[in-house]
Amino acid sequence: MKKTILLFASLLLGSAAALAQMTCVVAHRGYWDTEGSAQNSIRALVKADSIDCYGSEFDVWMTADKKLVVNHDPDINGIHIETSKARDVLAQVLQNGETVPTLEQYLNRSLSLHTRLILELKPHTDKNHEEEAVKAVVKLVKDRGLEANIEYITFSREAFANLIKYAPKGTPVFFLNGDLTPREIKAMGGAGIDYHFSVLKRNPWWIAECHALNLRVNAWTVNKPDDIKWCIDHQVDIITTNAPKLVQQMLIEQ
C-alpha cells in the first residue's frame, strides 16, 4: 500500500514537473526547410501541422488595393507590396513553385489542420493603412471561425495596440520588438513577449517576471542547439524556430 502511494505521488510530481517544463514549438514562416516547401507557402503551413507543431508562424501585408497577402519582406521581386496591386503581388512565384498566397487562401487551408496560426502583421509605412489591415485581418479570422486558433504578433507598437483593441477579448497578442518591459506589455493588455532570444539572454529575469504577471514568453528565431537548450532550461514557453524537428527532439531528450 505504502509503495502504491509513493508511486502515485512520484507520478503526480513527475507529471507536474513535465507540465511546468512543457515548451511549445512554433515553425518560423512555417516548416519550410524541408522538401517541397518554401517560406510562407501554404505547403509550409501543412508541413508544420504534419509534424505536430504547436503553431505555424507567417507574415501578413495589405496591398494598396486592400488585399491581405502572405509574405515576409516588404517587397517581392522588386514589387513593393504596400503600394502595389494584389494582382501583381499574387503573380509572384515562391521557391517551391506556389504563387504568393492570399491570407484568405492561407486561412482556408488551415481549417482542416490542428496547428495554431501565429499571424505576424508586418509594420506598414502608412499607419492608417496598417490600422485598416488590422481590422481586415480580425474580420477575416472571425468570418472563417478561426478566432480560437489564432495568435497575433507584431513589431509595430500601433498594430500591437490595435490588435488588442479590435480582436475579441482574450485573443493572444504578443509584441516582437524587445523594447517593452513585461509590466508595460501587461498594462497594454498583451498576452506576452515574443523577443529575440538575445534580448532574453540580456534580461533573463523578464521570464520569471512574465510568469508572475501571467504572461507567456516566446523566443525567436532559435535554431542552434546551445540557444535552444538555454531557452528550455530557462522555461521559455514557446520557441519559434527554423528547425522545429530539432527543437522537438531536444525536448524529448531533455
Q: Which is nearer to Mg ion, 120 or 130 (CB)?
A: 120
Q: Applying CB under 5 A, which part among 2-10, 11-19, 119-127, 202-210 lies near Mg ion?
A: 119-127
Report d(CA 253, CA 68) in Å as an integer.
40
Nearest residue to 210 via CA among 229, 191, 225: 191
Report d(CA 176, CA 188) in Å as an integer.
14
Cell of 164: 488588442
Q: Which is nearer to Mg ion, 60 or 180 (CB)?
A: 60
Residue nearest to Mg ion (CB): 120
Q: Is 120 in the site for Mg ion (CB under 5 A)?
A: yes
Report d(CA 116, CA 149) in Å as an integer.
5
DSSP string, 54-95: SEEEEEEEE-TT--EEE-SSSEETTEEGGGS-HHHHHTPBPT
Q: Is 194 in the site for Mg ion (CB under 5 A)?
A: no
Q: Which is nearer to Mg ion, 33 or 59 (CB)?
A: 59
Coil, helix or strand for 19? helix
Q: Closest separation between CB of residue 139 and Mg ion, Å?
A: 21
Q: Is 82 in the site for Mg ion (CB under 5 A)?
A: no
Q: Closest separation between CB of residue 120 and Mg ion, Å?
A: 4
121: CB partners within 8 A, 6+ apart: 60, 130, 133, 134, 137, 152, 153, 154, 156, 159, 163
Q: Which is nearer to Mg ion, 120 or 227 (CB)?
A: 120
Report d(CA 7, CA 205) in Å as an integer.
35
Q: Closest separation between CB of residue 21 and Mg ion, Å?
A: 26
Total residues binding Mg ion (CB under 5 A): 2
Coil, helix or strand for 27? strand
Residue with cell 512520484: 10
Q: Applying CB under 5 A, which part among 96-104, 117-125, 177-185, 204-212 lies near Mg ion?
A: 117-125
Helix axes 103-110, 42-50, angle to 10 degrees: 20
Site string for Mg ion, 2-41 (x = CB under 5 A): ----------------------------------------
Q: Which of 26, 46, 53, 59 binds Mg ion (CB under 5 A)?
A: 59
Q: Applying CB under 5 A, which part among 4-12, 118-126, 184-192, 194-202 lies near Mg ion?
A: 118-126
CB–CB of 118/57 below 8 Å?
A: yes
Q: Which is nearer to Mg ion, 59 or 130 (CB)?
A: 59
Q: Which is nearer to Mg ion, 74 or 211 (CB)?
A: 74
Q: Which is nearer to Mg ion, 198 or 254 (CB)?
A: 198
Residues making contact with Mg ion (CB under 5 A): 59, 120
